[in-house]
Amino acid sequence: MRRCSLCNWSDERALSQVSLSDGTPVTVCGSHYVVHQRVGRAFTTLGAMRQELGERRRYQERRSPSRYRDELAMQLTAAFTLDQRTGLDRRR
């Protein structure tokens, strides 16, 4: 049974393959495939890939600054925080 090399997801419908820089195939789930495409570079080892793209759900603050910061996500978060609402906004 194939599994995502980064999170162990085993649903065959969501699995895909990417390659390391030496051409070695690596099985990843759809979420990690998207993240891999966003990074835009090939990794030399599976360990390096796991370190960069591995599970991040264990961290409290997911919006911390990093090399691959998602600017759109930051703008959306800022737009919808309670701090940004005016006194004319009736959503409470």
Give me the helices (H) in the chain, please: 30-39, 46-53, 71-79
**What is the chain's pLDDT, residue by residue, as a tens digit (92 residues)?**
889 999 888 888 889 999 999 999 999 999 899 999 998 888 999 999 998 887 665 544 555 555 556 777 777 777 777 665 555 656 55
- Give pLDDT, residue 91: 57
* Cα separation, 79 vs 41, whole angstroms: 31
- Give pLDDT, residue 77: 77
> Is residue 1 a part of any domain in this protein?
no
Handedness of CA 60, 66, 69, 74 (dihedral sign): positive
CA distances from 28 to 19, 39, 41, 57 (A): 10, 14, 15, 17
> Is residue 90 a part of any domain in this protein?
no
Total number of domains constituting the chain: 1
- Give pLDDT, residue 59: 47
> Is residue 49 a part of any domain in this protein?
yes
| Full-model pTM | 0.58
Query: How many other β-carbons are positioned within 10 Å of the β-carbon of residue 4?
Result: 20
> Is residue 36 a part of any domain in this protein?
yes
> Is residue 27 a part of any domain in this protein?
yes
Domain that holds residue 73: 12-84
> Is residue 46 a part of any domain in this protein?
yes
> Is residue 70 a part of any domain in this protein?
yes
